[in-house]
Structure 1
């Protein structure tokens, strides 16, 4: 199933994509957003789809896909979680320990899968990080091993845009990772039952068609059960929380010389079995 939030004729809706149609769940339940629908699980989403089919559906070509969870309460991202990226960072003098290194992306950075990403006027060190994201489907605390899977709604494509000089001036990374528009994701949530092995997906990022990042999610150092165990030990993960699981080698800031993004660049991130997002870089002065 592909779960979406979308804009249509001046309003918004949420539901699922079937072929070239979008089924709108909003008229058929009490939930006010896709986030509020997530705890219903697959059976509940199917019931809503059955109710919407033929009565509240739209042509996919007639809607604008938004970030699937625009009202997330947490957006957390993991640093250095691909062996290839850890190796290139170490070569550049950045050493990491063996612990998971999490940071916040403020939820105000959430952006649509095809919307512009703004290069801020305070820095020209805008960089990309193509990533697999997962969406928490129901609240969880102290979950580990196979128990974590029941708490995952599904997966999205993310790009963790980073303003490198702002990121590196403080150990928390939060400011440099949280500029407005710097968290595009989507184009939909592919539900967990659709992905046979989430640790065997191909991830690619291109800039203006040039391949910059290419890897398999098998290269993750910390696998998804370990991520949820770590976080849910510290606090409750809530339905709709976004977890971005790390990036492989090839980030622009570690080229010699660095290859930062400029206005007009087109950044595309695609992940096998999920889809792609594509964003044009715009200058803040022109936005």
Structure 2
């Protein structure tokens, strides 16, 4: 069994990006600049945005953090987005989700200039990705594809089951895995909460991507030997034996599934670290269109 080490792979990618940034600066070209908009004080969002800013510093990017209070109006947020849309210094930006309930997330995502949408959520980028045209691929699916490619997991002709159909992970993964690309050419089944006889489907899978948000849902009796398993989930589960009172669990029951797997991602340290690395990669791509 081989661990698909997202922590190490993301570190490798950041080193590669940092080298690229050094070359850009040496040539007197524009330094990539990523901005993030954070509305409110959600703890997880603040931690995640902080990690993004730190990652920018690490690779030599410019970064801007725009912090807005919880009671920011939708109109005020849309105005901030328009300022970022027309600012030539900003190559790409993200609006950290989730947003406060009084703000329409879809309306906000639609307002972002697709050329700066380094999260890859705008319908223009989703459409271009679907048509296999150059686009910004959502960071988590992009990271999964990179892990599969770098670890040389055989995907061509493989039977892939994606559990989950979210716009952020499940649906884009199903599209990417079926396309003609290094980590693609697979036959894909999308399963979800309404799927009947799910264990029968997962037992036939060569590769399973679990992205449904239910801790330890996929168990060893649901998979076949030599399966490759990508665990996208991460949930805090109460655990009195831990000093902090909880542990982090993925959508996969690691202990039982890892005994059968040929490749598997750990939680934490698998898919998670790849997301920020690929956000940086998208920002570098956005900047390259200007240089």
Q: TM-score, structure 2 length as denominator?
A: 0.21
More helix by share: 2
Structure with higher RCO (Cα < 8 A, 6+ apart): 1
More strand by share: 1
